[in-house]
Amino acid sequence: MKFGRHTLLWILGGVVLGALTGGTFPAAGGKVGFLGEVFLNFLTMLAVPLVVTSMIVGVTNLGDLRKLGRMGWQTIAYYMATTGISVAIGIILVNMIRPGEGLTAVAQGQVQRGEFSLAQVVVGFVPKNIFKAMAETKILPLIVFSLLFGGALSATGGRGRIVVEFFRGANEALMKLVGLVMYFAPLGVFGLVAERLGKAGGWEEFGPELGKVLNYSLTVLVGLTLHGVVVLPFILWAVGRRNVSSYASNLSPALATAFSTASSSATLPVTIECVVRRNEVSEEVAGFVLPLGATINMDGTALYEAVAAIFISQVYNIPLSPVQQIVVFITATLASIGAAGIPQAGLVTMVMVLKAVDLPLEGIAMLLSVDWFLDRFRTTVNVWGDSVGSAVLERLRSGEVEDEVS
């Protein structure tokens, strides 16, 4: 099911109207929040089964396990490369703008002192119980299970065919549901944006909060804009060979959903719908690349983590040597891979970056009041990055198929 131009405009209108309502009448924002919750519930309801079915369909469509292996490595290499570019942009900007200079650290809230280590991330890949992972909307272990299961199904030959058909049918039905849910999206995004801005006290209260760390916020936003509007579109055009404006406009429902939910995982059903149905990327590529991207490819998050860490070093007047900045580069990349596709997950994994270069964790407190706001922008870039990735990997794969044929 394709939704027309009007639906797109309605969705974007919902975001704008939500910002106006919540910003001007914070109390009204709380009253319409239930609309957002209904939308979010629908999306999360679809995301879990969709990850399983789209991954299994993707993997079994690829057929040969060697092809899957090749695509897996290409996807991971591509994601790492684009995340690396994004972090580099952040590090260069924060060193140029130096938003933390002249600020004094003031604790503005409680810092979550969660432990976060790489070992934990790796253990988290393997589900102990797939139903528990589903119940807790843990996407990464579900991806691992679906990949293995899809691979095993391909290896069974004829016997597994009926199971593959089952998942294909289920996947199609779920996609139809996503199409239906999108009709509710304008109201949903309206409710989500209005409620969040209302909770922050509208423009009147949030404005001054933003003002306190304005330069930091601007550094993050300029970095995200450079990556999202210059780097990724260039890759889409040069490597993916796509018309950037039509690809982006077809994707706008997913981008607006990412902005209003601040969750790559909740947005996943809409991302798949826009990439497969509207931008005509094949199911086998999108089914594999997008769920993986929603959890491990977070260009926006990586950029923000690097900027935030170096900002904290500037505020506390702890200069970082070039080697330490390289450590920030590496750990911010890893922390973005480890962050779940849920609101403000980056804030938790940032502990890893700060610890790696011995920066005070208290520094995070300064960023808390604006984090929900920046989260929306970085999640939008995260989803855009995944979607550009699917066009690029589709192109690489079709190049290989052509080579095989000739």
How many residues make contact with ligand ASP (CB under 6 A)? 16
The DSSP H or E segment spanning 112 is none
Note whether 298 binds ligand ASP by CB under 6 A. Answer: yes
Note whether 19 binds ligand ASP by CB under 6 A. Answer: no
Taking residues 316 to 355 in sequence order and writing x for each that binds ligand ASP by CB under 6 A, - otherwise, the string is: -----------------------x-xxxxxx---------
Nearer to ligand ASP, 136 or 358 (CB): 136
Nearer to ligand ASP, 67 or 138 (CB): 138
**Considering the complex, what minimum distance in angstroms separates the CB of residue 329 from ligand ASP?**
17
Note whether 303 binds ligand ASP by CB under 6 A. Answer: no
CA dihedral 127, 130, 133, 139 (to 10 degrees): 80
Nearer to ligand ASP, 58 or 341 (CB): 341
Distances in whole angstroms, Cα of residue 364 to Cα of each of 323, 335, 375: 22, 15, 14
Q: Which tokens go with 134?
A: 């589903």
Choosing from 86, 313, 325, 382, the residue that interacts with ligand ASP (CB under 6 A) is 382
**Considering the complex, what minimum distance in angstroms separates the CB of residue 299 from ligand ASP?**
10
Q: Which tokens go with 333?
A: 């990349």
**Considering the complex, what minimum distance in angstroms separates the CB of residue 43 from ligand ASP?**
12
**Considering the complex, what minimum distance in angstroms separates the CB of residue 328 from ligand ASP?**
16
Note whether 378 binds ligand ASP by CB under 6 A. Answer: yes
Note whether 223 binds ligand ASP by CB under 6 A. Answer: no
Choosing from 379, 392, 393, 397, the residue that interacts with ligand ASP (CB under 6 A) is 379
**Considering the complex, what minimum distance in angstroms separates the CB of residue 337 from ligand ASP?**
11
Nearer to ligand ASP, 248 or 345 (CB): 345
What one-letter code names the amino acid at 260? S
**Considering the complex, what minimum distance in angstroms separates the CB of residue 161 from ligand ASP?**
36
- From CA 12, how far away is CA 32, in angstroms rounded? 17
Distances in whole angstroms, Cα of residue 334 to Cα of each of 83, 112, 302, 304, 394: 10, 19, 8, 13, 25
- From CA 339, how far away is CA 361, in angstroms rounded? 17
- From CA 402, how far away is CA 46, in angstroms rounded? 35
**Considering the complex, what minimum distance in angstroms separates the CB of residue 317 from ligand ASP?**
27
- From CA 311, how far away is CA 101, in angstroms rounded? 8
- From CA 327, how far away is CA 221, in angstroms rounded? 23
Task: Single out the segment in contact with ligand ASP by CB under 6 A; choices: 41-49, 223-231, 310-318, 377-385.
Answer: 377-385
**DSSP character string of 281-340:** --HHHHHHHHHHHHHH--HHHHHHHHHHHHHHHHHTT-PPPHHHHHHHHHHHHHHHHHS-
Nearer to ligand ASP, 154 or 264 (CB): 264
Note whether 297 binds ligand ASP by CB under 6 A. Answer: no
Note whether 263 binds ligand ASP by CB under 6 A. Answer: yes
- From CA 256, how far away is CA 248, in angstroms rounded? 11
Nearer to ligand ASP, 285 or 298 (CB): 298
Note whether 264 binds ligand ASP by CB under 6 A. Answer: yes
- From CA 173, how far away is CA 182, in angstroms rounded? 15
Nearer to ligand ASP, 154 or 349 (CB): 349
Residue 387: name the closest of 283, 282, 274 by CA: 274
User: Which residues in this chain contact ligand ASP in the complex, by CB under 6 A?
Assistant: 262-264, 298, 301, 339, 341-346, 375, 378-379, 382
